[in-house]
Amino acid sequence: MTSALKNKWILITGASSGFGAAAARAFAAEGARLLLGARRVDRLEQVAAESRQAGAAEAHCRGLDVCQTASVDAFLAWARQTITPRQPSDARLDVLINNAGGALGLDTVAQGKDEDWEGMLQSNVLGVLRMTRAALPLMVSNPGSSILNIGSVAGRVAYEGGAAYCAAKAGELMITRALRLELNGTGVRVSTIDPGMAETEFSLVRFKGDADRAHKVYEGTQPLLAQDVADILVWVASRPPHVNIDELLVKSVDQAAIHKVFRRKPKTE
């Protein structure tokens, strides 16, 4: 059976690693056409090549910093040109995945650093707003198109050291809800996919390259994998055009709650 996503245009931010890279490969396997953005272009090129191998009808990539309006606008101008080179004004985007973001540090508010707070609010909140504003002209006349925002369980439940990240993801949740109201009647679908703990480069970035500290987050437990989230994104985007998956919260079985993670004891020989 032909996939509902075959030849559809999918734009993924933060496609150089983790959920974004896994989503690129998963949409590729459906025969979709990909527009991939992130700051590390060498990594993006690798993901684009893997996506072509996985079956993408087309896979294109370009540097993108969602924290910079000029970068976002230049990316969307390139996207238009790539989708319809002869008539960029006729370009139609089918799926926008606002995935770029992450956490910086795990400091209490008392110890918090301006650059971490600003970085988290820039990428997770303003990045989603900027990308969506720039992409909407390619979507509003395309009923059944989808905006899939990546939120987090952190946007729903606070934890110590997570004030700014939780605030940012709660912001993403409210943006998603407001946007769904604003777009009512256009046929554009708006969803938030909110994962719990998943093993990606997330903790390595949060702990600024401290691999031991990042590794400890997942020690003894089975977290979600990037592929699990990618499978969900494909499923949400391929529902019939009249179906909107509003909010989807997904956690690993071992994570019953944000503070309750089952960890297996290391085996002693």
Name which position in 28, 67, 135, 230 contacts ligand NAP (CB under 6 A): 67
Does 24 sit near ligand NAP (CB under 6 A)? no
Q: Identify the DSSP state of 265.
A: P
Interface with ligand NAP by CB under 6 A: which range of 17-25, 135-143, 156-164, 183-191?
17-25
Does 64 sit near ligand NAP (CB under 6 A)? yes
Q: Is residue 189 classed as helix, strand or coil in its secondary structure? A: strand
- 6 vs 263, which CB is nearer to ligand NAP? 263
Residues 150-189 that bind ligand NAP (CB under 6 A): 150, 152
CA quadruple 237, 8, 178, 20: dihedral sign: positive
Minimum distance from residue 173 beta carbon to ligand NAP (Å) = 12
Does 147 sit near ligand NAP (CB under 6 A)? no
Name which position in 45, 118, 201, 231 contacts ligand NAP (CB under 6 A): 201
CB 9 within 8 A of CB 35: yes
Interface with ligand NAP by CB under 6 A: which range of 38-46, 134-142, 156-164, 177-185?
38-46
Interface with ligand NAP by CB under 6 A: which range of 95-103, 139-147, 176-184, 239-247?
95-103
Q: What is the DSSP string of 51-91?
A: HHHHT-SEEEEEE--TT-HHHHHHHHHHHHHHH-SS-GGG-
- 92 vs 218, which CB is nearer to ligand NAP? 218
Question: Catalytic residue among 19, 27, 75, 165, which?
Answer: 165
* Alpha helices, H only, 34-187: 41-54, 69-83, 114-121, 127-135, 163-182
The count of C-alpha atoms lying within 13 angstroms of the C-alpha of 144, restricted to the half-sphere facing its C-beta, is: 10
Give the helix/strand (H/E) hosting 20. Answer: helix 18-29
Which of 143, 42, 159, 142 is closest to 92 using CA atoms?
142
Residue 165 is among the residues annotated as catalytic for this protein: yes
The count of C-alpha atoms lying within 13 angstroms of the C-alpha of 172, restricted to the half-sphere facing its C-beta, is: 35
Residue nearest to ligand NAP (CB): 18
Q: List active site positions.
A: 165
| Residues that bind ligand NAP in the complex, under the rule CB under 6 A | 13-14, 16-20, 38-40, 43, 64-67, 99-102, 123-124, 150, 152, 195, 197-198, 200-202, 205
